[in-house]
Amino acid sequence: MAVIYKAQDLALGRIVAIKILRPSLTGDPSFLTRFRQEARNVANLQHPNIVTLYDVGQDGNTYYMVMEYIEGQDLKKLIRASAPFTVERALHIGIQLCAGVGYAHRAGLVHADVKPQNILVTTDDHVKVTDFGIAQALSVSQPQEKQSVVWGSPHYFAPEQASGETPTPASDVYAIGIVLFEMLTGKLPYNGADQQELALAHIREQIPHVMDQNPAVPVHLDRIIYKVMSKEPASRYRTADQLGRILISYQKQGQDVTANVPSPAPSQGQPVVPSPLSSAVPSHMPPPQAPYISPQQARPNAGGSTPPPQAPHIAAQATIPGNARAYPPIPAQPQYPAIPPRQGTGPLDRIGTGASRPAAPYANAARPATGAYPSIQPGTGPFPADGTGQGAAPDYRVTSPQAPIDLVSVVLAFIAFLAVLGLLPLWLAVYNTWIATPR
């Protein structure tokens, strides 16, 4: 649609990129409309991960846009040169990509053409999203509306775009998933001889797994990308911001776990052997929980020593065998079984692991709906009333402490007493007037 030139702004003395519409397309009203629409779209997007638009204009039959010049290259060239990327680098680029596209979503725009050729990467892996030429405003988009012409790149557009439906933010999320897949594997998930075969592949073919192409990718990252590449828009993350938060959370969990794992230094002359679990256990997984030890396992043996608990068994599996497509479930926190009550009359030892236990309600027993709990009568249990012996606890009584008499209360009482004494002459005068005086 256009040709990009590297140029110098003579007024400001800075290097810029000039995008000029091809002369053969200037007579086509549809391309002129797209060119002007891209200028309006980019002019309203000011974000560190979006290429900045400086100026737009027309010189005779030449239409141009002056934009920020990015010192680097597009992501497609980097993928061809060094893919597959490491997980850390792919996450670093993917999070920035989600930030730029997510900002456009919040501004009411769908990029509709997210692909590595439109993602510029600087020498320090800073991402800039460009080419909003076919971006569509959400306010004028009608769901399920069929389009006569499908715009986009067949390798990256979503199934609904291939069907002619109006793209949504979920369509951009799908394209970001394809970009993540390509960064981690160096390959595209779908291939075809022409655009029609590619479109049908996005609609009909089974979703591939990243781990099938690159077993070094952790299983949970594979699950995230698999969800992003779902055929139905409702099954994906709805916006690029939501996907970005998921990737940031995943990245942070991996950093927190690996930061707390010390790396033991090999001894002199000992070769460094990689762990067989490095490809099976992802770096972001939480450390294994300690196994549950029942009171019977904790009971001392005859020699008086307690055997150490056995370490939990971990099954190492580097790849998914065969053509299996099911993911292992995310391990949940272990639920320890409640200790059932046991009837008996024998004494208890000091750690509660004697031969038997007295019948008593445990923590999982039902509490009475109303009324108070029965109290222990003193002297009826194995403990005597004086608190000695073996068995249950003695009876306790709670008494309310007496409030101490402070100085303020004493002073107030004395003032009240003086007030009563001061009223005595008044009462005597009333008595003499009404009672003692003869009538």
pLDDT-wise least confident of 5-14, 85-94, 197-206, 385-394: 385-394
Give, in order, the Cα–Cα distances in Å from 383 to each of 39, 58, 67, 188, 349: 89, 101, 89, 77, 14
Spatial neighbors of 60 by CB under 8 A, at least 6 apart, are none
Mean confidence (pLDDT) of the chain: 75
* Cis, peptide link before residue 84, omega less than 30° from 0: yes
What six digits make up the tokens of 166? 């109006």
Given a cut of 80, whether residue 414 has pLDDT beyond it is yes
Q: State residue 103's pLDDT score.
A: 97
pLDDT of res. 142 = 52
Mean pLDDT is highest, among 243-257, 325-339, 342-356, for 243-257
Tokens 């599996």 sit at which residue? 317
What residue segments make up the domains of the chain, in order of their start?
A: 2-68, 72-257
- Superfamily, domain 2-68: Phosphorylase Kinase; domain 1 (3.30.200.20)
| Predicted confidence (pLDDT) per residue in 68-115, tens digit | 999 999 999 999 999 999 999 999 999 999 999 999 999 999 999 999
Predicted local distance difference test score (pLDDT) of residue 220: 95
Cα 306 from Cα 350, distance rounded (Å): 15
The amino acid that residue 81 corresponds to is: A
- Please indicate whether residue 56 or residue 144 has the higher confidence score (pLDDT): 56
Residue 23: CA count within 13 A, CB half-sphere: 3
C-alpha 258/C-alpha 254 separation (Å) is 6
By CB atoms closer than 10 A (0-12, 13-18, 19+), residue 160 is buried
| Cα 412 to Cα 389: distance, rounded to the nearest angstrom | 53
Rounded distance, CA 204 to CA 198, Å?
A: 10
Helix (H, G, I), strand (E, B) or coil at 73: strand
Active site residues: 113
Find the helix or strand (DSSP H, E) in which 94 lies: helix 87-106
- Exposure string (b/e) for 93-107, b if CB count within 10 Å is 16 or more? bbbbbbbbbbbbbeb
| Residue whose structure tokens are 């005595």 | 424
Q: What percent of the chain has pLDDT over 70?
A: 62
Q: How far apart are CA 31 and CA 20, in angstroms?
A: 12
Separation between Cα atoms, residue 176 and residue 430, nearest integer Å: 101
Instruction: Kindly indicate the confidence band of residue 404, based on its pLDDT and cuts at 50, 70 and 90.
Output: low
How many whole angstroms separate alpha carbon 285 and alpha carbon 267? 28
**DSSP structure class, residue 212:** H
The residues facing 136 across adjacent strands are 110
Task: Strand 127-129: give its sheet, edge to edge.
Answer: 72-74, 119-122, 127-129
**Alpha-carbon Rg for the chain in angstroms:** 39
Output the pTM of the full model: 0.58
CATH architecture of the domain with range 72-257: Orthogonal Bundle (1.10)
Q: How far is CA 32 from the centre of its chain?
A: 43
Task: Indicate the angle between helix axes 219-228 and 240-259, nearest 10 degrees.
Answer: 180
Mean pLDDT of 388-392: 46
| Residue with more model confidence, 333 or 408 | 408
User: Is the dihedral angle over the CA atoms 277, 282, 284, 286 positive or is it negative?
Assistant: negative
